[in-house]
Amino acid sequence: MVFLLRRLGFYLAAFVAAATINFFLPRLMPGDPIQIMFSSTGTELSAENLASLKLTFGFVDGPLWQQYLTYLQSIFTGDLGRSIKYFPLPVTSVLGHALIWTVGLMGTATIISFTLGTFLGILAAWWRGGIFDVVVSVGAIFATSVPAVVTSLIVLFFFGFTLGWFPTGYAADPALDPSLSLTYIGSLLCHGILPMLTLCTVLTGGFAVTMRNNMINLLGEDYIVMARAKGLSDSRVMIWYAARNALLPTVSSLAIAIGTVLGGSLVTEVVYNYPGLGNILYQAILARDYPVIQGQLLIMTVAMLVANFIVDVSYVLLDPRLRGA
Protein backbone atom coordinates (compact mmCIF):
# COMPACT_ATOMS: atom_id res chain seq x y z
CA MET A 1 0.00 0.00 0.00
CA VAL A 2 2.85 2.38 0.81
CA PHE A 3 4.37 1.65 -2.58
CA LEU A 4 1.10 2.43 -4.36
CA LEU A 5 0.60 5.69 -2.47
CA ARG A 6 4.17 6.74 -3.20
CA ARG A 7 3.77 6.01 -6.91
CA LEU A 8 0.41 7.80 -7.01
CA GLY A 9 2.01 10.87 -5.47
CA PHE A 10 4.80 10.75 -8.03
CA TYR A 11 2.41 10.50 -10.96
CA LEU A 12 0.19 13.26 -9.58
CA ALA A 13 3.22 15.57 -9.42
CA ALA A 14 4.16 14.54 -12.95
CA PHE A 15 0.61 15.30 -14.10
CA VAL A 16 0.68 18.80 -12.62
CA ALA A 17 4.07 19.45 -14.24
CA ALA A 18 2.79 18.23 -17.61
CA ALA A 19 -0.38 20.34 -17.25
CA THR A 20 1.80 23.39 -16.54
CA ILE A 21 3.81 22.82 -19.71
CA ASN A 22 0.54 22.18 -21.53
CA PHE A 23 -0.72 25.61 -20.43
CA PHE A 24 2.34 27.65 -21.37
CA LEU A 25 3.38 25.88 -24.58
CA PRO A 26 0.48 27.02 -26.83
CA ARG A 27 0.78 30.57 -25.49
CA LEU A 28 4.40 30.74 -26.62
CA MET A 29 3.33 30.07 -30.21
CA PRO A 30 3.18 33.13 -32.47
CA GLY A 31 -0.15 34.36 -33.72
CA ASP A 32 -3.53 35.34 -32.32
CA PRO A 33 -6.16 32.58 -32.75
CA ILE A 34 -9.00 35.07 -33.16
CA GLN A 35 -7.14 37.00 -35.86
CA ILE A 36 -6.18 33.76 -37.63
CA MET A 37 -9.81 32.64 -37.59
CA PHE A 38 -10.96 35.71 -39.52
CA SER A 39 -7.86 36.35 -41.63
CA SER A 40 -9.10 34.09 -44.43
CA THR A 41 -12.33 36.10 -44.77
CA GLY A 42 -10.50 39.37 -45.37
CA THR A 43 -12.60 41.20 -42.80
CA GLU A 44 -11.34 43.39 -40.00
CA LEU A 45 -12.71 43.31 -36.49
CA SER A 46 -13.24 46.31 -34.32
CA ALA A 47 -11.62 46.42 -30.90
CA GLU A 48 -15.00 45.84 -29.22
CA ASN A 49 -15.84 42.80 -31.36
CA LEU A 50 -12.34 41.38 -30.89
CA ALA A 51 -12.60 41.73 -27.11
CA SER A 52 -16.06 40.13 -27.19
CA LEU A 53 -14.81 37.14 -29.16
CA LYS A 54 -11.82 36.66 -26.87
CA LEU A 55 -14.16 36.66 -23.89
CA THR A 56 -16.39 34.09 -25.63
CA PHE A 57 -13.45 31.72 -26.15
CA GLY A 58 -12.00 32.32 -22.71
CA PHE A 59 -8.97 34.41 -23.75
CA VAL A 60 -9.19 37.05 -21.07
CA ASP A 61 -6.52 39.71 -20.65
CA GLY A 62 -6.00 38.96 -16.96
CA PRO A 63 -2.64 38.12 -15.37
CA LEU A 64 -1.03 34.90 -16.58
CA TRP A 65 -1.07 33.35 -13.11
CA GLN A 66 -4.80 33.95 -12.87
CA GLN A 67 -5.35 32.27 -16.23
CA TYR A 68 -3.20 29.38 -15.06
CA LEU A 69 -5.25 28.83 -11.90
CA THR A 70 -8.46 28.99 -13.94
CA TYR A 71 -6.98 26.43 -16.33
CA LEU A 72 -6.11 24.01 -13.51
CA GLN A 73 -9.61 24.37 -12.11
CA SER A 74 -11.14 23.60 -15.51
CA ILE A 75 -9.02 20.43 -15.81
CA PHE A 76 -10.33 18.88 -12.62
CA THR A 77 -13.92 19.90 -13.40
CA GLY A 78 -13.79 18.46 -16.93
CA ASP A 79 -14.56 21.77 -18.61
CA LEU A 80 -12.00 22.11 -21.41
CA GLY A 81 -13.74 25.01 -23.10
CA ARG A 82 -14.99 25.38 -26.67
CA SER A 83 -13.06 24.76 -29.82
CA ILE A 84 -12.06 27.74 -31.94
CA LYS A 85 -11.84 25.89 -35.25
CA TYR A 86 -15.01 23.84 -34.68
CA PHE A 87 -17.00 26.48 -32.75
CA PRO A 88 -19.47 26.16 -31.06
CA LEU A 89 -18.61 22.51 -30.32
CA PRO A 90 -17.01 21.89 -26.91
CA VAL A 91 -13.52 20.43 -26.85
CA THR A 92 -14.75 17.25 -25.16
CA SER A 93 -17.15 16.63 -28.04
CA VAL A 94 -14.48 17.21 -30.72
CA LEU A 95 -11.92 14.99 -29.03
CA GLY A 96 -14.50 12.37 -28.04
CA HIS A 97 -15.54 11.87 -31.67
CA ALA A 98 -11.94 11.59 -32.83
CA LEU A 99 -11.07 9.29 -29.92
CA ILE A 100 -13.30 6.52 -31.30
CA TRP A 101 -11.44 6.47 -34.62
CA THR A 102 -8.01 6.61 -33.02
CA VAL A 103 -8.67 3.81 -30.53
CA GLY A 104 -10.06 1.63 -33.32
CA LEU A 105 -7.05 2.21 -35.58
CA MET A 106 -4.15 2.61 -33.16
CA GLY A 107 -5.46 0.10 -30.62
CA THR A 108 -5.87 -2.64 -33.21
CA ALA A 109 -2.50 -1.86 -34.78
CA THR A 110 -0.77 -1.96 -31.38
CA ILE A 111 -2.26 -5.35 -30.46
CA ILE A 112 -1.37 -6.86 -33.83
CA SER A 113 2.14 -5.39 -33.76
CA PHE A 114 2.84 -6.54 -30.20
CA THR A 115 1.64 -10.09 -30.90
CA LEU A 116 3.49 -10.41 -34.21
CA GLY A 117 6.66 -8.66 -33.02
CA THR A 118 6.86 -10.72 -29.82
CA PHE A 119 6.40 -13.98 -31.76
CA LEU A 120 9.05 -13.04 -34.32
CA GLY A 121 11.44 -11.96 -31.56
CA ILE A 122 11.03 -15.29 -29.72
CA LEU A 123 11.76 -17.33 -32.83
CA ALA A 124 14.67 -15.10 -33.87
CA ALA A 125 16.30 -15.45 -30.44
CA TRP A 126 15.76 -19.20 -30.29
CA TRP A 127 17.25 -19.67 -33.77
CA ARG A 128 19.85 -16.93 -33.29
CA GLY A 129 22.55 -16.79 -35.93
CA GLY A 130 20.38 -18.51 -38.53
CA ILE A 131 18.79 -17.18 -41.69
CA PHE A 132 15.48 -16.48 -39.93
CA ASP A 133 17.25 -14.45 -37.24
CA VAL A 134 19.16 -12.41 -39.81
CA VAL A 135 16.03 -11.68 -41.87
CA VAL A 136 13.95 -10.70 -38.82
CA SER A 137 16.70 -8.60 -37.21
CA VAL A 138 17.60 -6.70 -40.37
CA GLY A 139 13.93 -6.18 -41.29
CA ALA A 140 13.01 -5.01 -37.78
CA ILE A 141 15.91 -2.56 -37.54
CA PHE A 142 15.14 -1.22 -41.01
CA ALA A 143 11.43 -0.79 -40.19
CA THR A 144 12.18 1.12 -36.99
CA SER A 145 14.85 3.29 -38.65
CA VAL A 146 12.70 4.56 -41.51
CA PRO A 147 10.64 7.63 -40.48
CA ALA A 148 6.91 7.03 -40.22
CA VAL A 149 6.18 9.67 -42.85
CA VAL A 150 8.38 7.85 -45.38
CA THR A 151 6.70 4.52 -44.63
CA SER A 152 3.27 6.13 -44.96
CA LEU A 153 4.08 7.69 -48.32
CA ILE A 154 5.62 4.46 -49.68
CA VAL A 155 2.59 2.38 -48.66
CA LEU A 156 0.20 5.02 -49.99
CA PHE A 157 1.99 5.36 -53.32
CA PHE A 158 2.49 1.63 -53.93
CA PHE A 159 -0.81 0.12 -52.75
CA GLY A 160 -3.02 3.18 -53.20
CA PHE A 161 -1.92 4.99 -56.35
CA THR A 162 0.20 2.48 -58.29
CA LEU A 163 -1.77 -0.72 -57.72
CA GLY A 164 -5.04 0.98 -56.78
CA TRP A 165 -6.03 -1.82 -54.43
CA PHE A 166 -7.24 0.32 -51.52
CA PRO A 167 -8.70 3.81 -50.94
CA THR A 168 -6.14 6.54 -50.30
CA GLY A 169 -7.95 8.60 -47.67
CA TYR A 170 -10.77 9.02 -45.16
CA ALA A 171 -12.01 6.48 -42.63
CA ALA A 172 -14.92 5.42 -44.83
CA ASP A 173 -16.67 6.37 -48.04
CA PRO A 174 -18.00 9.94 -47.51
CA ALA A 175 -21.07 9.08 -49.59
CA LEU A 176 -22.21 6.49 -47.02
CA ASP A 177 -24.11 7.33 -43.85
CA PRO A 178 -22.60 5.87 -40.66
CA SER A 179 -24.50 2.73 -39.70
CA LEU A 180 -24.05 -0.92 -38.75
CA SER A 181 -24.76 -2.09 -42.28
CA LEU A 182 -22.38 -4.48 -44.00
CA THR A 183 -21.72 -1.88 -46.70
CA TYR A 184 -20.51 0.73 -44.22
CA ILE A 185 -18.52 -1.76 -42.15
CA GLY A 186 -16.87 -3.07 -45.30
CA SER A 187 -15.98 0.50 -46.28
CA LEU A 188 -14.43 1.07 -42.82
CA LEU A 189 -12.28 -2.04 -43.13
CA CYS A 190 -11.22 -1.21 -46.68
CA HIS A 191 -10.24 2.37 -45.83
CA GLY A 192 -8.40 1.25 -42.71
CA ILE A 193 -6.08 -1.27 -44.37
CA LEU A 194 -3.41 1.17 -45.58
CA PRO A 195 -3.04 3.16 -42.31
CA MET A 196 -3.17 -0.14 -40.39
CA LEU A 197 -0.43 -1.61 -42.59
CA THR A 198 1.69 1.50 -42.08
CA LEU A 199 1.35 1.46 -38.30
CA CYS A 200 2.01 -2.28 -38.04
CA THR A 201 5.15 -1.90 -40.15
CA VAL A 202 6.46 0.85 -37.89
CA LEU A 203 5.54 -0.76 -34.55
CA THR A 204 6.29 -4.45 -35.14
CA GLY A 205 10.04 -3.95 -35.60
CA GLY A 206 10.46 -2.34 -32.18
CA PHE A 207 8.66 -5.14 -30.36
CA ALA A 208 10.61 -7.79 -32.26
CA VAL A 209 14.02 -6.27 -31.46
CA THR A 210 13.14 -5.78 -27.79
CA MET A 211 11.88 -9.33 -27.34
CA ARG A 212 14.82 -10.87 -29.19
CA ASN A 213 17.40 -9.04 -27.09
CA ASN A 214 15.63 -9.82 -23.81
CA MET A 215 15.31 -13.50 -24.62
CA ILE A 216 18.92 -13.91 -25.78
CA ASN A 217 20.10 -12.54 -22.44
CA LEU A 218 18.15 -15.30 -20.66
CA LEU A 219 19.06 -18.31 -22.79
CA GLY A 220 22.34 -18.81 -20.91
CA GLU A 221 20.75 -18.77 -17.45
CA ASP A 222 21.04 -21.81 -15.19
CA TYR A 223 17.32 -22.59 -15.14
CA ILE A 224 17.28 -22.78 -18.95
CA VAL A 225 20.24 -25.22 -18.90
CA MET A 226 18.52 -27.24 -16.17
CA ALA A 227 15.28 -27.39 -18.14
CA ARG A 228 17.11 -28.75 -21.16
CA ALA A 229 19.03 -31.23 -18.99
CA LYS A 230 15.70 -32.59 -17.73
CA GLY A 231 14.84 -33.50 -21.30
CA LEU A 232 12.00 -31.02 -21.73
CA SER A 233 10.91 -30.31 -25.27
CA ASP A 234 12.34 -27.28 -27.09
CA SER A 235 8.91 -25.71 -27.46
CA ARG A 236 8.25 -25.95 -23.70
CA VAL A 237 11.65 -24.52 -22.79
CA MET A 238 11.28 -21.74 -25.34
CA ILE A 239 7.78 -20.65 -24.29
CA TRP A 240 7.43 -21.45 -20.57
CA TYR A 241 11.00 -20.86 -19.41
CA ALA A 242 12.68 -18.38 -21.75
CA ALA A 243 9.90 -16.35 -23.38
CA ARG A 244 7.79 -16.12 -20.22
CA ASN A 245 10.59 -14.40 -18.28
CA ALA A 246 11.82 -12.35 -21.23
CA LEU A 247 8.33 -10.91 -21.65
CA LEU A 248 8.49 -8.87 -18.44
CA PRO A 249 10.72 -6.04 -19.80
CA THR A 250 8.64 -5.99 -22.97
CA VAL A 251 5.65 -4.93 -20.89
CA SER A 252 7.27 -1.49 -20.58
CA SER A 253 7.39 -1.15 -24.36
CA LEU A 254 3.76 -2.21 -24.58
CA ALA A 255 2.78 0.34 -21.93
CA ILE A 256 4.47 3.14 -23.84
CA ALA A 257 2.73 2.00 -27.02
CA ILE A 258 -0.65 1.88 -25.27
CA GLY A 259 -0.01 5.31 -23.81
CA THR A 260 0.64 6.72 -27.27
CA VAL A 261 -2.56 5.17 -28.63
CA LEU A 262 -4.67 8.04 -27.27
CA GLY A 263 -2.23 10.48 -28.80
CA GLY A 264 -2.98 9.13 -32.22
CA SER A 265 -0.49 8.85 -35.03
CA LEU A 266 -0.18 12.41 -36.28
CA VAL A 267 1.84 11.58 -39.41
CA THR A 268 -0.21 8.55 -40.47
CA GLU A 269 -3.56 10.21 -39.82
CA VAL A 270 -2.57 13.36 -41.69
CA VAL A 271 -1.21 11.43 -44.70
CA TYR A 272 -4.39 9.34 -44.98
CA ASN A 273 -6.70 12.15 -43.81
CA TYR A 274 -7.97 9.87 -41.06
CA PRO A 275 -10.31 11.65 -38.58
CA GLY A 276 -8.40 10.66 -35.44
CA LEU A 277 -6.82 12.57 -32.59
CA GLY A 278 -3.53 13.03 -34.43
CA ASN A 279 -5.23 14.74 -37.37
CA ILE A 280 -7.37 16.84 -35.02
CA LEU A 281 -4.21 17.98 -33.20
CA TYR A 282 -2.57 18.93 -36.50
CA GLN A 283 -5.58 20.98 -37.61
CA ALA A 284 -5.76 22.63 -34.18
CA ILE A 285 -2.10 23.64 -34.36
CA LEU A 286 -2.65 25.26 -37.76
CA ALA A 287 -5.69 27.16 -36.42
CA ARG A 288 -4.02 28.06 -33.09
CA ASP A 289 -6.95 26.31 -31.42
CA TYR A 290 -5.55 26.47 -27.89
CA PRO A 291 -8.41 24.63 -26.12
CA VAL A 292 -8.19 21.63 -28.48
CA ILE A 293 -4.38 21.58 -28.33
CA GLN A 294 -4.43 21.65 -24.55
CA GLY A 295 -7.19 19.02 -24.36
CA GLN A 296 -5.38 16.65 -26.71
CA LEU A 297 -2.03 17.00 -24.94
CA LEU A 298 -3.82 16.45 -21.65
CA ILE A 299 -5.31 13.19 -22.93
CA MET A 300 -1.88 12.01 -24.07
CA THR A 301 -0.36 12.86 -20.69
CA VAL A 302 -3.03 11.07 -18.67
CA ALA A 303 -2.87 8.00 -20.93
CA MET A 304 0.90 7.74 -20.61
CA LEU A 305 0.90 8.19 -16.83
CA VAL A 306 -1.89 5.63 -16.33
CA ALA A 307 -0.10 3.12 -18.58
CA ASN A 308 3.15 3.52 -16.66
CA PHE A 309 1.36 3.21 -13.31
CA ILE A 310 -0.23 -0.06 -14.47
CA VAL A 311 3.22 -1.31 -15.48
CA ASP A 312 4.63 -0.46 -12.05
CA VAL A 313 1.86 -2.41 -10.34
CA SER A 314 2.18 -5.31 -12.81
CA TYR A 315 5.91 -5.61 -12.17
CA VAL A 316 5.29 -5.95 -8.44
CA LEU A 317 2.63 -8.61 -9.02
CA LEU A 318 4.65 -10.58 -11.58
CA ASP A 319 8.13 -10.43 -10.07
CA PRO A 320 8.44 -11.83 -6.49
CA ARG A 321 11.85 -10.17 -6.11
CA LEU A 322 10.27 -6.72 -6.32
CA ARG A 323 7.66 -7.66 -3.72
CA GLY A 324 10.44 -8.71 -1.38
CA ALA A 325 12.33 -5.47 -1.97
Does a structural domain hold residue 75? no
Burial annotation 88-118 (CB, 10 A radius, 16+ → b, else e): eebbbebbeebbebbbebbeebbeebbeebb
CB–CB of 248/235 below 8 Å?
Answer: no
What does the pLDDT read at residue 321? 57
Does a structural domain hold residue 96? yes
Does a structural domain hold residue 69? no
Give the chain's domain count: 1
Does a structural domain hold residue 46? no
User: What range does the domain containing 248 cover?
Assistant: 91-324
What does the pLDDT read at residue 42? 52
Does a structural domain hold residue 63? no
Encoded amino acid at 148, one letter: A
Each residue's pLDDT, cut to its tens digit, for the chain (325 residues) gives 666 677 777 778 888 888 788 777 766 666 655 666 556 555 565 666 666 666 655 565 666 777 777 777 777 777 777 777 777 778 888 888 888 888 888 888 888 888 888 888 888 887 887 888 888 888 888 888 887 778 888 888 888 788 878 777 777 777 777 777 787 788 778 887 888 888 888 888 888 888 888 777 777 676 677 777 777 776 777 776 677 777 777 777 777 776 666 655 777 788 888 888 888 888 888 777 777 887 888 888 787 777 777 777 766 665 555 555 5
What does the pLDDT read at residue 105? 82
Question: Rounded to an integer, what distance in angstroms lies between the CA atom of residue 53 and that of residue 47?
Answer: 10
Does a structural domain hold residue 250? yes
Question: Rounded to an integer, what distance in angstroms lies between the CA atom of residue 151 and that of residue 162?
Answer: 15
Does a structural domain hold residue 49? no
Of the candidates 117, 126, 323, the one whose C-alpha atom is nearest the C-alpha of residue 224 is 126
CATH number for position 100 = 1.10.3720.10
Does a structural domain hold residue 273? yes
Q: Does 167 sit behind a cis peptide bond, omega within 30 degrees of 0 on the bond before it?
A: no
DSSP string, 223-284: HHHHHHHTT--HHHIIIIIIIHHHHHHHHHHHHHHHHHHTT--HHHHHHTT--SHHHHHHHH
